[in-house]
Amino acid sequence: MDFLTTIQPNSKTKMKKQIIQLNLLAVVLAPGAVQACACGCGIFDVATSSLMPEREGGTAFLNYDFQNQNENWSGTSSAPGADNNDQKIETHTVTLGLQYMFNRSWGAKIELPLVNRTFDSAENAGSLNWTGVGDLRLRGIYTGFSDDWSSGLTFGVKLPTASHSHTEALGDLDRDTQIGSGSTDLLFGGFHRASLAGSLRWNWFAQAQMALPVAQQGDFRPGMEADAATGIYYDGLSLGRVAISPVAQVISVWRGRDNGAAAAPADSGYQRVLLAPGIEFNLRPVSIYADVEIPVYQNVAGNQLVAPVLFKLSASYTF
């Protein structure tokens, strides 16, 4: 974890406030963010609509993502837990981010996650739990295609700032359960938003991102990942000064197999489709967004742990 009709001038500011923190999870994705976990430990980054700026200035945001991978899956269906030595991977991710648009065409974004992970495996003496800084993501943003900022491109790099060699006295950690991938990835993306059939209340958005590993450490190269999301939202509700926007999204994720001597190619790589109903509360300049991401299609290679549901909460402040 972010193509053209005319947006009415009077609705432009309102649209910006409503769409600034619509979220993946991710994300393809989490995507956020790609966490280089063969079993899908990452939080989907795609569908974080803070990548859709609409004016000059900045947005500071804090995202919280949670998933508990406790179901073994093989192919397109659940599989016996005995087929997988991994039993549970529970991940809490808090991401601090800042986005700033210098002018109507160019901007930048920085994201730094903090991850807490619990790992249970039949091979370990007990439950492993550790916390660490995740991989830093730096992006540039280009929105110079139109006067209403409705379309844009993102490009950047994910740096290997997270540990990929954490050890525990109670047991071993494979590379695909580490917080960091150890890889440097190139990041590419694009987004678009527009009113739905000329409506001033109903709007739609689409977003896609790709992470391409170009450098590796410890003979482990995570699979390439591509995430996409599309959704609609309604901005005609309010409670006092608080604007309320229901959101509905469809998120798709494709991830290739990991490679290298430290990887498990037979048990990595997957495709997923998730439905993500959500809601945003906006009291200028503060926005709060939450959604629930429910997998409706999963096709994984080998045996991998999956989460039956993912959760996202986001708060942002524009200035």
Specify the pTM: 0.85
Q: Could you read off the pLDDT of 197-215 as tens digits, one per residue?
A: 878 899 999 999 999 999 9
Alpha carbon of 120 to those of 47, 127, 163, 178: distances in Å?
A: 30, 5, 19, 13
- Looking at 34-48, 63-77, 112-126, which range is the least confident one? 34-48
Phi-psi region of 219 (alpha: psi -120 to 50; beta: other; left: phi over 0): left
Residue 153 has pLDDT above 70, yes or no: yes
Mean pLDDT (whole number) for 92-108: 95
Residue 1 has pLDDT above 80, yes or no: no
User: What residues are paired with 154 via a beta bridge?
Assistant: 141, 189
Residue 165 has pLDDT above 80, yes or no: yes
Residue 23 has pLDDT above 50, yes or no: no
Q: Could you read off the pLDDT of 256-289 as tens digits, one per residue?
A: 999 999 999 999 999 999 999 999 999 989 999 9
- Looking at 92-101, 192-201, 213-222, which range is the least confident one? 192-201
Q: Where are the alpha helices (DSSP H) in the chain?
A: 9-19
**pLDDT the model gives residue 41:** 55
Residue 40 has pLDDT above 60, yes or no: no
What pLDDT band is residue 27 in, cutting at 50, 70 and 90?
Answer: very low
**pLDDT the model gives residue 33:** 34
Domain borders along the chain are: 9-318
**pLDDT the model gives residue 7:** 32
Identify the helix (H) or strand (E) that includes residue 156: strand 151-158
* Overall fold of domain 9-318: Lipocalin (2.40.128)
What pLDDT band is residue 171 in, cutting at 50, 70 and 90?
Answer: confident
**pLDDT the model gives residue 42:** 52
Whether 313 contacts 60, CB under 8 Å: no
